[in-house]
Amino acid sequence: MEVKEKRDELYPDRTHVPLIRWTPGPAFLNFAFDNFTDGMFGAIGNIAGVNDFAGFDNKTVFNMFETREYLEYAQTMRRLRENMIIRYDDIDRDWAGYQNEGLFFFWIGWGLFVVPEDMFSANFSVRIMENQRIWVDTSIMSAAGNAISARCENPERALMVLELMNSDPYLATMLRFGLEGEHWEINSAGAMELVNRNADPAARGFLNWYGATLGNLSIVNAPESHSGPNNAMMDLMVQANLDALPGHMGFRVNLHPIETELAACTAVQGEYMDILTHGRLPTEQAVIDYVNEFNEKLYANGLQKIIDEIQSQLNAWLASR
């Protein structure tokens, strides 16, 4: 609010422009929790060591949407929208003119590690703030792995390829930056730099950065423009993995008994959550009423069965450890 006030004093013709260019993420990006169902957030668990939701231990499955924390988040988003901090929606992103004037202080970036100070405007400097809390759960891990098809004619050879992708630094580098001498080279200082067909950003010859599907990124040799001085990004990635809180790592829900309920509740979530994320309701009481209605509809479509089934499976998994 203080930034908005100062901005409006400096640029009175821009008071109608929201301070933040995009809505800063739905609730699942603002909390740390175990996502047991890969996208339906009515049945989640606390991460031990973080415990973002009060009143629940890390052995209990609960509904995020009826917690005090989620209600406060939804009310905050409404206040941000009402006070022109965030936008009403996230559809029209053609704001380049305002951006060049440096009137916003928040941009969402994806895949950024090294940025020039004047990335968005010569009027202010750009910085990156790293996440201070890192966690991982089974759903994240299942989305980050490579697998061999059951129909593969030579699974042993396929596994050898995956082994090389994840253990050979030279191959890992070539898969992302191409051939040494043609697309990149090691300069006299011993650093990797893009050359020839990869040197022109407008006409790359071969570049797949970061190549998340290509295996172990921590062993890749990358130019400073992509990974920072002395491959600092790789060191941070290794440390992030070492520091990550594991959550319920290894627990995977059998969704078959609750497939129908999950489909119904996911549809309800899609109907309600976007309105709350963008703060589109007119009053604080309207947010309370809408969240209550949201939860009533979730339970009417089988949320309690989902919670009970996941809790039962979690209890069995914990007992077997």
Instruction: Give the pLDDT confidence score for residue 317 in this predicted structure.
Output: 96
Q: 130 and 276 in one domain?
A: yes
Instruction: Give the pLDDT confidence score for residue 21 in this predicted structure.
Output: 67
- Asked whether residue 203 is assigned to any structural domain, the reply reads yes
Instruction: Give the pLDDT confidence score for residue 272 in this predicted structure.
Output: 96
Q: 237 and 253 in one domain?
A: no
Which of 243, 278, 309 is where one domain is finished? Answer: 243
Instruction: Give the pLDDT confidence score for residue 16 in this predicted structure.
Output: 79
- Asked whether residue 147 is assigned to any structural domain, the reply reads no
Q: 236 and 216 in one domain?
A: yes
Q: 214 and 70 in one domain?
A: no
Instruction: Give the pLDDT confidence score for residue 115 in this predicted structure.
Output: 76
- Asked whether residue 169 is assigned to any structural domain, the reply reads yes
Q: 254 and 236 in one domain?
A: no
Q: 61 and 163 in one domain?
A: no
Q: 168 and 290 in one domain?
A: no
Instruction: Give the pLDDT confidence score for residue 101 in this predicted structure.
Output: 47
- Asked whether residue 184 is assigned to any structural domain, the reply reads yes
Can you list the residues of the chain whose pLDDT is less than 50?
95-96, 100-102
Q: 239 and 267 in one domain?
A: no
- Asked whether residue 15 is assigned to any structural domain, the reply reads yes
Tokens of 16: 């109608």
Q: 173 and 293 in one domain?
A: no
- Asked whether residue 298 is assigned to any structural domain, the reply reads yes
Instruction: Give the pLDDT confidence score for residue 130 in this predicted structure.
Output: 74
Q: 252 and 237 in one domain?
A: no
Instruction: Give the pLDDT confidence score for residue 55 in this predicted structure.
Output: 95
Which of 208, 243, 278 is where one domain is finished? Answer: 243
Structural domain including 266 reads 1-136+246-321
- Asked whether residue 143 is assigned to any structural domain, the reply reads no
- Asked whether residue 306 is assigned to any structural domain, the reply reads yes
- Split into its structural domains, the chain has a count of 2
Q: 168 and 34 in one domain?
A: no
Q: 314 and 200 in one domain?
A: no
Which of 220, 243, 266 is where one domain is finished? Answer: 243
